[in-house]
Chains A and B, each alone.
Chain A
């Protein structure tokens, strides 16, 4: 399993050649400088253009300010971060050292015993090779390329060069610049013309996907008339020692193509997750983001879709759960650049135990976006007085024939609904859980079965403190 497995630090020794070569890299420890970047690139035997891109991005990163909006990032010390870590540094963690709350959660949401250690980072590998092998053959026979981005750079450098950074320039924001400078891992997926990848790709690799790198770089290209349903991430808590995760994801949806990209993240609450995700949807294509943010200390993530072709459709369906000491600042951006483009944003959030979830969104109709349509819906449930939520929608409309609908509701669990359920014999906690599950149902029903079941259990478990 050479391709996918390099997203796991456990295997990169095989991939990246002799460790001796790269010793200096590891000894640089915390912090970042040009030499670190050169060493990373050299260790991976990258082409010169990639190194140039990295170095250029590093310059940009140094000159760019931190985001001027949203959550407090002042506690991140960018000089204290390990930008590049050897596999063994990461895996050498005893099961005993994994925090109890993480272990309890594994138990409560029913993560199989065999997977727990792997997810917690105390086992290097999870045995799923047989399944993987079959799927890999199946994908290859359809001409689909599905491997980690590092391997793709080696095996299909021209393809990577064609798309890498074309939607998200390093100059987009400070963390996109940082990612471009130091990226490692991530997924590359190419679906050829008129090929339909019918199984949700990656759901078979749930377990492999549970461990993601700090600065992942993901590229997805769905060629004309093709379609793909890609699922990544993990409902189970992802115990990370690294406190900063800054991924970049670029998705190209060509004419008449379809892409659904589902992500579930449940980082442990020491993590800052600052992601940049962008898609381009060409004529009559459809791009759908399905995004669940269940963990982290701070998440800043506003996936965008550039609707560049006439008749393109974009949608974002997201949930955020924010508990104690968590701030989810998420949303979406829909940029309409062509006629008859449609977009939908449905954002659902639950705040409990003093957590905070904000929605930040942009709908833009440029002059070319004749007869554009957009619908935005933000619903939040606040479980207690200490929790909070706000919405920051921005509309930037240059046309006169478009329509925008915007609805936002912040509520508590309805007493009348609770009473109704109780009148049938359900106790307070069960009734509240049912109402929350019902609230999230538009999201959960879009997930592959095993994700949906786990998500239900996780939310129930997270809610227990709030609803006694």
Chain B
């Protein structure tokens, strides 16, 4: 069970201020969508929650179940609760997908190795569920996977590691409609009162399959509007530019829905 609270978060990347005071609360069991134009800071927020050292917190806190996690290392956060499906998952040749996931499970299990046979059984079941070719268990981690295959593999990892708090950064990008449905199926399978999720997306499309409890719009490093699922539908019609105007924002960049 995880409750995420972000208070007045200000973040720099490469000496430039990217997040200008983000406030966000996600309660256990809730799925939130975070939308916004390109370059507005969605990935910066996601990576900062995970603890990516490229992003520097200048002010504010990130609380998880009443604990400030901003001083925690990346792997500590992961072992505690947080999972980030990255916008651009890394390739690591020579480590098999299965070995990697097994190592990650072991790391979360406080030094108790996870029995291999039940693990493989679970892996197989989840791969079937996500319609991933069984051979991909033995392939190098994301090595030479297509964009869509990498995304599906992120969902596989999430399903295997069963985090309490998942951030999915553009998990829908580069997916055709069939793949999108499969990914949505994976996310929906995680849904429970003990699972909370922040889905970063550019498009309304994913939200047709995974209906969020709350939708946030981010612009220029701030959450400028929050509402129910209808907010996303409205946005699809009007586009970010119009929203920006009505909000009287002063941003001068990243105002198109590409």
Question: Which A residues contact B (CB, under 8 angstroms)?
Answer: 414-417, 419-428, 430-431, 434-435, 437-442
Task: Establish whether residues A442 and B94, one from each chain, have CB atoms under 8 Å apart when the complex forms.
Answer: yes
User: Does B256 sit at the interface, judged by CB under 8 A?
Assistant: no
A428 neighbours in B (Cβ, 8 Å): 75
User: Does B92 sit at the interface, judged by CB under 8 A?
Assistant: yes
User: Does B124 sit at the interface, judged by CB under 8 A?
Assistant: no
Chain B residues numbered 59-91 whose CB sits less than 8 Å from any CB in chain A: 73-75, 78-79, 83-84, 86, 89-90
State in angstroms the CA–CA spacing of A416 and B94 once bound together.
16
State in angstroms the CA–CA spacing of A440 and B92 once bound together.
12
B107 neighbours in A (Cβ, 8 Å): 424-427, 430
A423 neighbours in B (Cβ, 8 Å): 50-51, 74-75, 78, 83-84, 86
Whose C-beta in chain B lies nearest to the C-beta of A431? B75
Tell me if A's interface is mostly helix, strand, loop or mixed.
Answer: helix
Task: Establish whether residues B92 and A420, one from each chain, have CB atoms under 8 Å apart when the complex forms.
Answer: yes
Point out the residue from A416, A421, A426, A438 that lies within 8 Å of B93, measured CB to CB.
A438
Report the minimal beta-carbon distance from B158 to chain A, rounded to whole angstroms: 10
User: Does B95 sit at the interface, judged by CB under 8 A?
Assistant: yes
User: Does B113 sit at the interface, judged by CB under 8 A?
Assistant: no
B52 neighbours in A (Cβ, 8 Å): 419
State in angstroms the CA–CA spacing of A440 and B93 once bound together.
10
Report the minimal beta-carbon distance from A67 to chain B, rounded to whole angstroms: 34
A426 neighbours in B (Cβ, 8 Å): 75, 103-104, 107
Instruction: Return 7 A-B CB contacts under 8 Å, by A number.
Output: A416-B90, A422-B78, A425-B104, A426-B103, A427-B107, A434-B103, A438-B140
State in angstroms the CA–CA spacing of A431 and B92 once bound together.
11
Task: Establish whether residues A417 and B78, one from each chain, have CB atoms under 8 Å apart when the complex forms.
Answer: no
B93 neighbours in A (Cβ, 8 Å): 438, 441
Whose C-beta in chain B lies nearest to the C-beta of A415? B53
Report the minimal beta-carbon distance from A438 to chain B, rounded to whole angstroms: 3
Report the minimal beta-carbon distance from A147 to chain B, rounded to whole angstroms: 38
Report the minimal beta-carbon distance from B236 to chain A, rounded to whole angstroms: 31
User: Does B181 sit at the interface, judged by CB under 8 A?
Assistant: no
Contacts A430-B103, A430-B107; A425 near B78 (Cβ below 8 A): yes
Task: Establish whether residues A424 and B140, one from each chain, have CB atoms under 8 Å apart when the complex forms.
Answer: no
Whose C-beta in chain A lies nearest to the C-beta of B143? A438
User: Does B57 sit at the interface, judged by CB under 8 A?
Assistant: no
User: Does B100 sit at the interface, judged by CB under 8 A?
Assistant: yes
Q: Which 7 A-B pairs have the closest CB atoms?
A: A438-B94, A441-B94, A420-B90, A424-B104, A425-B78, A438-B95, A425-B107
Contacts A427-B107, A430-B107, A434-B100; A421 near B92 (Cβ below 8 A): yes
B73 neighbours in A (Cβ, 8 Å): 422
Whose C-beta in chain A lies nearest to the C-beta of B77? A423
Whose C-beta in chain A lies nearest to the C-beta of B89? A420
Report the minimal beta-carbon distance from B62 to chain A, rounded to whole angstroms: 15
A416 neighbours in B (Cβ, 8 Å): 90
A437 neighbours in B (Cβ, 8 Å): 94-95
Task: Establish whether residues A417 and B94, one from each chain, have CB atoms under 8 Å apart when the complex forms.
Answer: no
User: Does B24 sit at the interface, judged by CB under 8 A?
Assistant: no
State in angstroms the CA–CA spacing of A180 and B107 once bound together.
54
Known: A424-B101, A425-B79, A437-B95. 16 other contacts (CB 8 A): A415-B53, A419-B90, A420-B90, A421-B100, A422-B75, A423-B51, A423-B84, A424-B104, A424-B107, A424-B157, A425-B108, A426-B103, A437-B94, A438-B94, A440-B94, A441-B94
State in angstroms the CA–CA spacing of A322 and B229 once bound together.
58
A441 neighbours in B (Cβ, 8 Å): 93-95, 140
Whose C-beta in chain A lies nearest to the C-beta of B108? A425
